[in-house]
A and B are shown apart, each in its own frame.
Chain A
Amino acid sequence: MIKTRYWLILPLMAVVLVGCASFSASSQAEDAGSLIIYSGRSESLVRPVIEQFAQVSGIKVEVRYGNTAELAATLLEEGKNSPADVFYAQDPGGLGAVANAGLLAVLPDETLEKVESRFRSAQGLWVGISGRARVVVYNSQRLQPEDLPADLFGFTDPRWKGKIGWAPTNASFQAMVTAMRQMWGEEKTRQWLLGILANQPVVYDGNTAIVAAVGSGEIEVGFVNHYYLYRFLKEQGDSFAARNHFLNNGGPDSLVMVSGIGRLAAGKNEENALKFIHFLLSPVAQQYFAAQTNEYPLVAGVQTAAGLAPLESLNAANISVDQLADLEGTLNLLRETGVLP
């Protein structure tokens, strides 16, 4: 009696396996109207805009979501055998690694020219889609904007001891340190890192954790990207006690960074890939990023979210994405000063 029950599992398995096989077969079918996206931006952020593209264009779009660095490593491992047509990345670091391996194709000028030259790769291998600014997030119950120093170097003052949060493993933070090395020079950057370390900063896993900790009062200030705060305000209401402060001093601490997209040279759907990149730079998609993710649209003429100063009015660091390429030097400095393990 019992024996028969065990063997019931086998036909069941066969059915599921065949089901799986047909699912895989259909998902690999390559007809003229398809597009495969590797997205390092999370599903909750970009799914609506991708669905809209699929609807408008009639193209069958498939997306693999993951972490930007892990997907970049995946593309490097896959090499020319990658099924991906485009790589949509959270930060320029991942795009740079894939571009350096010679896996990205040059984009047409008409696409590139939609955004300012500082927000795209100089060789035209990828283009920025949306922007985010480095800001200081502060606890609004303990501090007023006037209490904050004019630049990040001011936080090396001992009065900030134990009150600072940062995330040295975060890609945006590391890009900011690269900008510091370019604009402040190696020595001043080292002094800044050591000065903050001397103030015993609380180390967090990422921007989200810092904003949460500032809101709860665990720390008073944190160095983050601007757009995380708005999600907390949306879920928890205005009583959430954290606000952004834009330093607006034109220095590396007022850096504006981008998410970006590149086309894989080995991709089979070149035309659809370009259509998608074009769509992301269209007013509809740019408006989506402005309104839904509170990022800065990079295409001229699109409104930023309510309560957010337009990109043109920011006194942002005047530095191009290519100048942020020397990540290795930044990592060495971070390890040398003991900021990273």
Chain B
Amino acid sequence: MMLKDWVVAKRVGAVVASPVRGAWLYLPAALVALAMSLPLIYLIIRASTAGSSAWTWLLRFQTVQIMGQSVGLALSVMLAALILGVLLAWLVTRSDLIGRTIWSALLPLPLVIPSYVGAYLFVSFFAPRGLLQNLLEGWLGVERLPSIYGFWGAWLVLTLMTYPYVFLAARTVLMGGDRSLEEAARSLGCSPLETFWKVTLPQLRPALAASSLLVGLYVLRDFGAVSILRFTTFTRAIYLHYQSSIDRSAAALLSLVLILITVGFLVTEQRFRRSAAENPYTAVRPVELVRLGRWQILALTAIILTVVFGLILPTAVLFYWLVRGLAAGEQLGIWVSPLVGSVSVSGLAAILTILAALPVAILSVRRKNLLTKVLEKWSYLGYAVPGIVVALALVFLGANFVPRLYQTFFMLLFAYVILFLPQAMGSIQAALRMVQRSLEEAAASLGENPLRVFQRVTLPLMMPGVATAAALVFLTTMKELPATLLLAPIGFSTLATQVWGAVSEAYFARAAAPALILILTSSISMYLINHHSAIEGSSQRQ
């Protein structure tokens, strides 16, 4: 039998009804979809009052150009993040790279740096006469560095801040996926590269589609990095409408257009994903790692460069600010209660988002039909518009219709779920596809009810994917700003709001301490999540 036929046969064999696909799941899924519709309802109400000047602005030629710039930036960041993320994930899971476990823990961390802070740090280092130029002037007499502003600066900074989405998704599949196929390919004489191209990559396909979609949407809705790096995108234009004239209706109209652009991305992703193959675990034997040999140095260079630019450089600039400020007698300010605030709301947001994502994810993987497909895509609505738009939608609905809940933690957590549900969706779906249904059937045939089957068989097997989802939501909640500022109970502050408050007023030393603590706390959390899921995964599969 040809390798290809064997692969196909092995995949098809798994497709049978599973006990974990209950029709009752439509109810919670519908509730989730309803929650997701709230921002859209608000936007339609607001946009209906948009004046003629908003329409004139929208229908100009320059506006079309700005849309083109947005889409162009999103696509090029997606491509770069995809290549970088897959390469790094493969290196830390499949090769004999030196220090794999350390790199594996460090590489997701750039995700925790808020994009406006990341861009600011980058600019203070690389600006034509920034810190780097100062260093080089001392040693080499360099007078001026080339400008990092505009498209390439934005592209570089956003790539460094979003590749972890792809990295985490790819790593989850590579850690858990079926290696027997790869081993078979190797034994049939394929080179490591051929094996990767013909066997590994197709397995990764759905996870890559979902995670690069997250990257694309992140870029489409980002405001901080593009403003600091001076590249005009559609989202920047939306912010400017709020900023200058507090013109909510024009901003709402533009946000609806942004949703249309996002729909384009969603449709493309769906086609790219094609039929997401079921890819169950089989017995996992210690896999033989690909020996890098003389490629070792090149691989290490790539990884070190990524970690240096994505993580060490921003941290170093923060330390520099801190030390310089302390030397000038600056106060460090308070950070204990923001730290507790950040960690507790982010942890809760991660748990609630996963609970909300589960019914939709299970339905979309286990009952493939048009309705479940629409339910799944609908959950991306909150991620299709800038954070400020979702926050204002909930301000409007909360203050006017549920004043008792307005500006409480419930409201804030609700906002986080709407904002970050898509981040959990992809990893959970990927994890579900890795669960071998025969195990669920065996449990059911032994008399367990579907809920118990889910709890005792499905969930434990899904753990690596669930951990990834939790990590993504946790990290992005840690740095979330607009919803936290507008919807949190009054007086509540997080590390991110502290950093923002200080940087926006040029108090760099005061920004440095909470920013460093933000990075440190997130690193510890990432380590715990990784560690936990690795232990869970291995103890389950033995």
Chain A residues near B (Cβ < 8 Å): 2-3, 6, 9, 13, 16-17, 20-21, 23-24, 27-28, 36, 42-45, 62-67, 69-74, 76-79, 81-83, 93-94, 97, 169, 171, 174, 203-206, 208-209, 211-213, 216-218, 228, 231-232, 234-237, 327-328, 331-332, 335, 340-341
Contacts and interface: CB of A to CB of B under 8 A. Distances in A.
Nearest to B330: A235
Contacts of A236: 324, 328
Residue picked from B244, B459, B491, B502, most chain A C-beta under 10 Å: B244
A338 B127 CA distance: 25
A81 B218 CA distance: 33
B167 to A, nearest CB: 26
B509 interface: yes
Contacts of A13: 348, 351
A27 B505 contact: no
Interface string B118-142: 0000011001111000000000000
A327 B328 contact: no
B156 interface: no
B344 interface: yes
A209 B509 contact: no
Interface residues of B, number: 70
B127 A73 contact: no
Given A27-B489, A44-B505, A341-B66, A331 B395 contact: no
Main secondary structure of the interface of B (DSSP, over half): helix
A234 B328 contact: yes
A340 B240 contact: yes
Interface string B455-475: 110011000000000000000
Given A203-B230, A218-B130, A327-B245, 15 more contacts: A13-B348, A16-B348, A27-B490, A44-B505, A69-B244, A70-B486, A77-B248, A77-B396, A78-B395, A83-B406, A169-B227, A169-B240, A209-B123, A213-B127, A235-B325
Contact of A73 (B248, B348, B510): B248
Interface in B217-259: 227-228, 230, 232, 236-237, 240, 242-246, 248
B202 interface: no
Contacts of A83: 406-407, 490
Contacts of B53: 328, 332
Given A73-B246, A328-B245, A217 B129 contact: yes
B491 A62 contact: yes
Contacts of A17: 348, 409
Contacts of A21: 408-410
A205 B227 contact: yes
Contacts of A72: 246
Contact of A69 (B246, B399, B459): B246
Contacts of B245: 97, 327-328, 331
A6 B506 contact: no
A16 B128 contact: no
Contacts of A81: 399-400, 403, 406
A302 B529 CA distance: 56
Contacts of B482: 70
A331 to B, nearest CB: 6
A44 B456 contact: no
B242 A208 contact: no
Given A70-B388, A82-B399, A235 B491 contact: no
Nearest to A233: B328
A6 B344 CA distance: 18
Contact of A208 (B248, B407, B489, B505): B505
B456 A3 contact: yes
Contact of B395 (A20, A24, A74): A74
B369 interface: no
A333 B404 CA distance: 44
A27 B240 CA distance: 33
Contacts of A28: 408, 489
B327 to A, nearest CB: 9
Contacts of B460: 2-3
Given A63-B491, A66-B486, A217-B129, A73 B242 contact: yes
B507 interface: yes
A231 B66 contact: no
Closest 5 CB pairs of A and B: A20-B409, A24-B408, A78-B399, A216-B129, A77-B396
Nearest to A335: B57
B346 to A, nearest CB: 12
A43 B460 CA distance: 45
Contacts of B243: 67, 69, 169, 171
B452 to A, nearest CB: 10
Contacts of B228: 205, 209
Given A66-B486, A69-B243, A331-B244, A44 B510 contact: yes
